[in-house]
Structures are given as C-alpha cells and as structure tokens.
Amino acid sequence: MPRALYSLLVRLLLPCILLRLWWQGLGKRELLRDWQHRLGLVPRSPQPVIWVHAVSVGETIAAAPLVEALLARHPEQPILLTAMTATGRERARALFGQRVRYAYSPWDSPGSVRRFLDRVRPRALVIMETELWPNMIAQSRARGVPVALVNARLSERSARGYRKVAALVRPLLQDLAWIAAQAPEDAHRFLALGAPEDRVAVTGTVKYDIAVQPALREAAAALRAQLGEQRPVWVAGSTHPGESELLLAAQQRLLASHPDALLILVPRHPERFDQVAALVEGAGLRLARRSRGEDAQTAEVYLGDSMGELMQLYGASDAAFIGGSLIDRGGHNPLEPAAWGLPVISGPHVFNFEAVYAALSAGGALSVVTDAESLAQVLLRLLGNPQEAREQGARALAVVEANRGALDRVVAGVSGLLNQGSP
C-alpha cells in the first residue's frame, strides 16, 4: 500500500516535473537532450547489460573505478551507466568514451521504470551510494534482477528521515540483494531500518581506490607552470552558496601577507559560475576565468568554471578546502586532494562523509575551520610553512593508501550477483 500511494503521487506530479524540465531547458538546451530517457524511452539493448546508476557528478566519479574493474573482469558484458543530471552524464562520457553506454535514469513512475527495464534488460542493477527509488528497486527485483547498493552511506540525519517513512523504506531494503556499506555506522543504520542482516556487509568506500594517472599528473604540472610555480596556490572545490563570500574574505586576508597568493575557486554547480564571478569582482579581487582561457599569473582568484577538471585543479595546488562544509550541506569527497598528497581543510559540516573525515582527522591530515578568519589562519600556517604543508599532505595520502581494497571486495560481490540475475 505505501508504494501504491507513492506511485500515485509520482504519476500526479509527472506533468509538473516535465513542465519544469521544459522551463529549465529554455535557458539550457542541453537539459532537453534525450529527455525521453526520463520516461523510460531509451534505445533497446541488443543484449542484457550491467546497469550502474550514479545520480550526479560525485557519484559518477566514485563509480569510475568500479566500472573500470567490471569492464576488465567482464569484457563480454555491456555496461549501461545512468545519471539523473546532465553534468553527471557528461562526466561519464569524459571518463569512458565509447566503452560504455549512457542514458538518463528513468523518473520513478511505474510506467517509466517498466519501459526502461523492457528496453535495457539488466542482468544486475548496481546503485551507487544511497539512491533508494521504490519503483526502480521493486520492479527490478520482481524481474529477478539482483539489486546492489554499493559504496552505501547513510548519515544519522538521513536515517531519521527514512524512519519517518519506514513502511515504504523497509520493503525496499528487503528487496536489495546486497548492501555494501562504507563503514560500520552505515551498516548499523541500514540494519536498524530493516535491511536483512545476511545481505549487509562493510566493504569500505571505493573512493579510497582513486588513482592519479600519469597523464593527469602531467596536465596538472603544466597548469601549475602557467599559474606560477613559486606562488602559494590553494583551491576551494565544490563550493556552495553561502561559502563564496567567506572564501573570498579568507583570500583577502591571505593576500595581506602573501600578495601573490592565488585562490582557485570551483563552484559545485555550473549555473553559479557567472554569479560567483560577479562576487569576485565585487570583492575587488582580480579574476581570471578558466573557461575563457584567461591568464591567471596576475590574478588573485582563478575561477574553475569548466566541467570535469577539479581533479586536475587539485593537482595544481598546495592546499585544498572542500566545499559544502562551512554550511549545513554535509561536505563533499576529500579523497581526491588527499590522493594528490595535499593538506585537506574543511568546515565542521561533513556528515555526508563522516567516516572518511574521521579517518583523515585521526591521521593528522585534516584542518577544520568555522569561518573566514579561522580559514585564513590555517592557510597562513600551511602556505607560509611549505614543509608543514607537505607533511600534512603526506599524512593524507597515507590515509588513502591504508584504506585501499574496497574496490576488490565490491567487484567480487557484484560479479557474484551476476550469476543470480535473469534477463
């Protein structure tokens, strides 16, 4: 009954959702490309696929090592990678080219999901992190398709929300063939919500299995040469509204002691690029925009207004602040700068990645700030003492190295599920 009511609500809202997509597409035509995928009208697959679902950019990046491993282990098996956002799908194309297939995931109405499953015929569905869509999971399970929730995380805040709709969530969790939780705390919360104990495992996070490829190191070194190798450079990645002003204030404070310091500022969402550029200019700081190829050697803020380049920008920096953490957003993945051996800085709000931040903190690799002044003080300490910055960065890399291995466990688990699935 709860899923029937949920499905009715989705059906009633579907015209409004379509109208909203059309309205957004008036300003950004790429949002309307392949819009029919969202109703399940995707190209028919000539053979069953492994369906990997990653909602947006962050989950797509997290899924990349898993997809690479599945391609190597099952070369005969096509992989369909879906996302819910245009930026997520474009990031997937940049990562994999023609080696996998792409589509938008269907909206979670019964008809959209049914049409999608009819066309792609998955052998298994692998969902990254915690995307619990009732019809997607229930209809897949009804067709004998095993569904795995991998790299699964569940904060206490999210668990409280799910407890309010326990009658809907409990059957969903019981339909999952496997939950590969990032940490024991995540596993405990899934079990408390009703997940079967024999289907929950703690595998760690595949994000620790990130690798900096030689080509990326070369590109980052070339960018750093363009920016200026001797000047202090820090990056603020995946920032949100409410943080930009604080970051710019910290940069102004840093410039008083280091006049050649450069902030690489990377907003989380591309629709904010122009807004953040206006904030920089309004603060009286010299701006260069990456998307326009502007020279940043004399700039004070370098706006990373390009897609899919954050990892390279981390590699061209001396320290990294992770956005979404000075506001109550929950933070973003700190392991990308850690894999570069950078000292990591964040605000106090990191509940989305609490186990990862706890590991960095325990390893002496994390600096926590609360406002512009405390951020400026940390930057003055790290950028004014390169040896200390290198030591903290080395500790961050050591945390990454010590926690590798989740990928092998997840790939083994997914490969086992493929033998259970029926097209």
Q: Which two tokens stand for residue 223?
A: 């960018």
Backbone angles phi, psi at 112, to 5 degrees: -65, -45
Q: Which two tokens stand for residue 297?
A: 């050697």
Q: Is 90 a catalytic residue?
A: no
Backbone angles phi, psi at 50, to 5 degrees: -90, 120
Q: What's 97's DSSP letter?
A: T
Active-site choice (30, 59, 76, 391): 59
- Residues with Cβ within 8 Å of 75's Cβ and at least 6 positions away in sequence, in order, are none
Contact 287, 280 (CB under 8 A): yes
Bridge-partner residues for 178, per DSSP? 148
Residue 420 and residue 126: Cα distance in Å, rounded?
A: 13
Bridge-partner residues for 367, per DSSP? 345
Q: Whose structure tokens read 């106090």?
A: 348
- Residue 90: Cβ-neighbour burial (10 angstroms; 0-12, 13-18, 19+): middle
Helices within 74-155 (DSSP H only):
86-96, 110-120, 134-142
Residue 377 and residue 358: Cα distance in Å, rounded?
A: 22
Contact 261, 254 (CB under 8 A): yes
Catalytic residue list: 59
